[in-house]
Structure 1
Amino acid sequence: MSDDFELDTDDLKRRMDGAMANLRTEFASLRTGRASASMLEPVMVDAYGSMTPINQVGTVNVPEPRMVTVNVWDKGLVGKVEKAIRESGLGINPQLNGTIIMLPIPELNEERRRELGKVAGQYAESARVSVRNVRRDGMDQIKKAKGDGMSEDDQKFWETEVQELTDSMIKSVDEALENKQAEIMQV
């Protein structure tokens, strides 16, 4: 009856890749003692009556390893951008120089490095959960097709496909976490 069942593994992979992309974004926002323009990506500024990403109100640059600068295009927004950075929880104290906001990145102490390692672990676990949820969706589709008359061999084949995809994604998450924790602990 359902010999033509075709699981959309591309869709499952795309959704798992989305979880991985989200993890990379979260990792980029972690301050590791090194300046990075991506650490300001989650910062939103109240500009012109709506919350706007910081990179849409100014140019974010990294002129040296321990300094990020934001060149705000509209002088009227400098105070709002500074306030958004202060309230972002990044632990950075902005310094004003006209329309340029300088963000010196302080050295991390050992305790803060451990905390950041734990936060990175939480981000990775969240990504693993997302990948497993996508796996569960795929397995549910297979079970439904089995109920519609799929052969047991086909069921095993598709379950193996989904499991292999899941295992490779979980491995990627673990590798990304390992790399991020090594970067955080690097002095």
Structure 2
Amino acid sequence: MSEEMNVDEKMIDGEGEMEHALDHLKSELSKIRAGKASPAMLSSIMVDYYGSSTPLMQVSNVNTADSRTITIQPWEKSMLAPIERAIFEANLGLTPMNDGEFVRINIPPLTEERRKQLVKQAKNEGEETKISIRSARHKMLDFIKKEVKAGYPEDAGKRKEEDVENLTKKYYKKVDQLIEAKEEDIMTV
């Protein structure tokens, strides 16, 4: 009976890995802009804050003034120039404007070509996520096969393998749904 517990624990671990891969995909997709201003677009930017690399969100308030403008209000005025520099260096294709109080970023409308590039980027993220899901699936199946060799009932092992395949299909479907939604978001003018 202890083998069953081990197989079930491995199934739970595997599903946790798949869920983590899906969460990572959601995070990465939120960084891909779809023509609308979003503070998430700047979530990966690190600013030099008194010699240490600090996330932009920890040295300023980042908001959207409207659907095309992001405003960044640093907590210290001396941070305006480092924030502006960090945005330029991040190479996001955004031009920050410093007015002495705020750093404003106007989000230009996307060209058709740029939209297609962003869709391609989103699909690549989806493929990376599917690779992570396959990796978790592989670990679970290997574990089940090892347990069957060690005395776990073969028919129960086959059922667990089917469960793993169904779980994999479920997560693949979730990835496809996220990518389709992001593609629609990007292509909507």
Cα contact 2:7–2:143 (8 A) shared by 1: no
Give the superposition deviation at 1:157. 1.3
Q: How many residues align?
A: 187
* Residue number in structure 2 paired with 1:19: 21
Cα contact 1:35–1:68 (8 A) shared by 2: yes
Cα contact 1:2–1:145 (8 A) shared by 2: no
> Given the alignment, which residue of 104, 111, 114 partners 2:113?
111
* Residue number in structure 2 paired with 1:32: 34
> Runs of 4 or more off by more than 6 Å in structure 1?
none
* Residue number in structure 2 paired with 1:175: 177
* Residue number in structure 1 paired with 2:103: 101
Q: CA 1:109–1:161 in structure 2 vs 1: closer, same or farther (change >3 Å)?
A: same
Q: 1:78-108 CA distances to partner (integer Å, 9 max, x unpaired)?
A: 1111111112121110011223110100000
Give the superposition deviation at 1:48. 2.5
Q: CA 1:158–1:127 in structure 2 vs 1: closer, same or farther (change >3 Å)?
A: same
Cα contact 1:2–1:148 (8 A) shared by 2: no
1:6 and 2:23 correspond: no
Q: 1:112-155 CA distances to partner (integer Å, 9 max, x unpaired)?
A: 00011111111110011011111111111111101211111111
Q: SS of the counterpart of 2:135?
A: helix
Give the superposition deviation at 1:14. 1.6
Cα contact 2:25–2:125 (8 A) shared by 1: yes
Which stretches in structure 2 are left out of the alignment for 5+ residues? none
Give the superposition deviation at 1:2. 6.2
Q: CA 1:3–1:103 in structure 2 vs 1: closer, same or farther (change >3 Å)?
A: closer
Which structure: greater helix fraction?
Answer: 2
Which AA in structure 1 matches 2:29? F
Q: CA 1:3–1:16 in structure 2 vs 1: closer, same or farther (change >3 Å)?
A: closer
* Residue number in structure 2 paired with 1:151: 153
Identity of aligned residues (%): 38
Give the alignment's TM-score, normalised by structure 2: 0.94
Which AA in structure 2 matches 1:40? L
Question: In 2, distance between residues paired with 1:156 and 1:48?
Answer: 58
